[in-house]
Amino acid sequence: MKRSRRQFLKVASLSVAGLGAQLAAGGVTKAAAAVKPSYKEDALALKAKRWAMVIDTREFASKEDFDACINACNFAHNVPEIPGKTEIKWIWKDAYEHTFTETTNKYQSKEIEDREYFMLCNHCENPPCVRVCPTQATYKLENGIVAMDYHRCIGCRFCMAGCPFGARSFNFTDPRPYIKEINPKFPTRMIGVVEKCNFCVERLDEGKLPACVEAAPGKIHFGDLSDPESEVRKLLEENYTLRRKPALGTEPGVFYII
């Protein structure tokens, strides 16, 4: 049935007025609370007070070493392979000068400067992306992981501006046609939303380590930073490590053994 513009505006006005009345009375809030889904944690879920990652850069010597991690991550999370400047990246590699911009030694080892290094979301203790997001689409979990709710994202890209590590990507186009093989266990995204590494929180809930960690045994380590007996803490005590842009005070959760 066709409606005139006047009829459409009248119905819309009544709908908005009704919604306003419900909000004033708290009806919508109560209804939303009533249908809030329950969450039952898997008995096998891996737990930590503060998840952290330690990347042993000495172990990544070839293109194949890097590609194994990138491909594992891309498949696990349906990361599209969009060519050009609108590419989507969860984990990628780059040069030393782009990774560690706050050089502490002017005369650095050439071997270290010539290496390539992984980049990804740093899951900061003090994440600026969370502070600037107007819809709480990006938020911090109790275990330190900075997560995202794609349904809340309005595409304002404030989080991208707030992130000092360039760890977020924006879907300027529909990403689904660019996914080589769909993983039905993880949701695909849509045009107009931001995405990034999530430390494989969905795998941790199933008792599995992050995809990149499994793809690089002995090269990338993952554990509880707050536990003095954890593998990551022992590696940090025994090796010289760097974090990206430490002077900013975000306290990144990704460490690099140099």
What would the pLDDT profile of 149-164 be if each residue is shown by its tens digit?
Answer: 999 999 999 999 999 9
* Average pLDDT value over all residues in the chain: 88
Rounded CA-CA distance 131/141 in Å is 14
Non-local (6+) Cβ contacts of 23 within 8 A are 29
Residue 147 has pLDDT above 50, yes or no: yes
**Mean pLDDT calculated for residue range 218-237:** 98
Rounded CA-CA distance 169/89 in Å is 6
Residue 11 has pLDDT above 60, yes or no: no
**Mean pLDDT calculated for residue range 136-157:** 97
Domain 51-101+123-257 falls in which CATH fold? Alpha-Beta Plaits (3.30.70)
Confidence of residue 2 (pLDDT cuts 50, 70, 90): low
At 105 the pLDDT is: 75
Question: Whole-prediction pTM value?
Answer: 0.83
Residue 221 has pLDDT above 90, yes or no: yes
pLDDT in tens, 53-101: 999 999 999 999 999 999 999 999 999 999 988 999 999 999 999 999 9
Residue 129 has pLDDT above 90, yes or no: yes
**Mean pLDDT calculated for residue range 215-235:** 98
At 82 the pLDDT is: 94
Cβ distance 86 to 191 under 8 Å? Answer: no
Is 86 exposed, middle or buried, given 0-12, 13-18 or 19+ CB atoms closer than 10 A?
middle
Higher pLDDT, 25 or 234: 234
Higher pLDDT, 28 or 3: 3
At 22 the pLDDT is: 43
Higher pLDDT, 108 or 61: 61
Non-local (6+) Cβ contacts of 218 within 8 A are 56, 59
Confidence of residue 103 (pLDDT cuts 50, 70, 90): low
Closest among 52, 110, 51 to 241, alpha carbons compared: 52
177 three-class SS: helix
Q: Using a pLDDT cut of 90, give the percent of the chain over it.
A: 78
**Mean pLDDT calculated for residue range 244-255:** 97
Give residue limits of the domains in the chain: 51-101+123-257
